[in-house]
Amino acid sequence: MSSEHAWTGRTWLAIAATMGGQGIGAAAHVAPAVMAKEIAEHAGLAPSMIGVYMALVFLASAFASLSGGGLIGRYGAISAVQAGVALSAIGCALAAIGHPAALAASALVVGLGYGPMTPASSVVLSRWAPARRLGLVMSIKQTGVPIGYFLTALGIPVLASAVGWQGALLTLAAIGVGASVLISLARSRLDEPGPNVGGGFTSARLSLGLLKRHNRLRRIAFASLAFAGVQVTVTSFLVVYLQDHVGLDKQSAAWPLAVAGVAAIAGRIGWGWLADGMPAARLLMILPLLMAATLLAMIAAGASWGFLLLTGLGLAVGLSVLAWNGVMLIETARQAPPGQVGLATSGVLALTFLGSTIFPILLSITIGALASYQIGFIAMIVVSIVVALWYLPDALRGK
């Protein structure tokens, strides 16, 4: 079990298994965004419909997250991560079919796999991480997501040029199958019986009940709704925006997302390290202000931007838009009642995934109706500033 100081072999195994699972899950849902133009052309859709794909992913994730407490309690946290990776692989294979119906099925399957991963990871890490370093450990684990983004943004275009976009997605599916097998080997060392919270509806009721009763959990849930909406919208539309609106070629347009993946690794660890010694409210005020500045930089991007400016944009995205997650998970684990980290995380993530559902589909609608990315980006700037102002009083009081 978790102790104050000990880093054991099980700590590192837990980090590796959960990081790997989150990385595959992230790669599975961002790969269609990287290949949005190719997939849209094959399916006879507009590239902006990637927002609808992402909305379906995170709508399914929200439902899966709410029922995740029951799944984790019944089968074990590592088993939930393994199942999520397997579903991610199936989702990639479905996307490779390229038919609109298959793409919708792909989004739902990927989302069902992704939803329970973070609650399961929180249960595993809160059990095996040193208690005084929980923030750092959770942030290290959360680097699996930007690593997945980085490798996908960098690797999928290269794979697609060699074996086609469908071959690239099938390669990712094969990697997911292999990762699922490897993660299964950790079950006997890491999984312990959890509380039996009943089926999916019971788990959902208990998770949402925690948010209703605990104001701090409810506040972090609504903040994460906003943060997640900004994150998923930026990662979903960044490449296609830089291609369609700014006029960059495929490789140049994908470069900032790849840089963001690397920067987010340092960003998540750095914010997590700060969260172990700084009031959470201060971080939750600073992060949305940085997100707003990053969105302004995206609006300012032009076809004349060279390597350095595109790299700077990627760094800004990675250090702000992609780097907040560990702080949210740390605060959720700290505020959860004893023994209810999984349920609390499931409840918070339900609202997180709701933001991931709403924001990209609203931007898709805005682009379709007004032919404007900028209006959607400005709306997200306003939301970010509102969250910062929400946490300002607590930040000044050092809470």
Residue 367 confidence (pLDDT): 85
For residue 201, is pLDDT > 80?
no
- State residue 319's pLDDT score: 94
Is 178 among the domain residues?
A: yes
- 392 found inside a domain: yes
Q: What is the pLDDT of residue 191?
A: 76
pLDDT confidence of residue 177: 96
Quick one: pLDDT at residue 196? 53
Which range is least confidently modeled, 20-29, 30-39, 273-282, 286-295?
273-282
The pLDDT assigned to 346 comes to: 77
Which range has highest mean pLDDT (132-141, 204-213, 316-325)?
A: 316-325
Mean pLDDT of 372-388: 93
pTM of the model: 0.74
The predicted pLDDT at position 245 comes to 84
pLDDT above 90 covers what percent of the chain? 37
Residue 3 has pLDDT above 60, yes or no: no
Cα separation, 48 vs 150, in Å, equals 22
Across the range 178-200, mean pLDDT stands at 75
The answer as to whether 4 is a domain residue is no
Q: Work out the pLDDT band at 1, boundaries 50, 70, 90.
A: very low
| pLDDT over 70 percentage in the chain | 93
Q: Residue 157 has what pLDDT?
A: 87
Confidence of residue 277 (pLDDT cuts 50, 70, 90): confident
Q: The domain spanning residue 181 has which CATH number?
A: 1.20.1250.20
What confidence tens digit (pLDDT) does each residue in 290-324 have? Answer: 999 999 999 999 989 999 999 999 999 999 999 99
Total count of domains within the chain? 1
| Residue 1 belongs to some domain of the structure | no
Residue 46, pLDDT above cutoff 70: yes
pLDDT of residue 104: 95
- Whether the per-residue pLDDT at 370 is higher than 90: the answer is no
Is it the case that residue 110 has pLDDT exceeding 90?
Answer: yes
What's the mean pLDDT when you consider all of the chain? 86
Q: Find the domain containing 332 and state its range.
A: 9-397
pLDDT tens-digit readout, 154-186? 889 899 999 999 999 999 999 999 999 999 998
**Higher-confidence position of 71 and 188:** 188
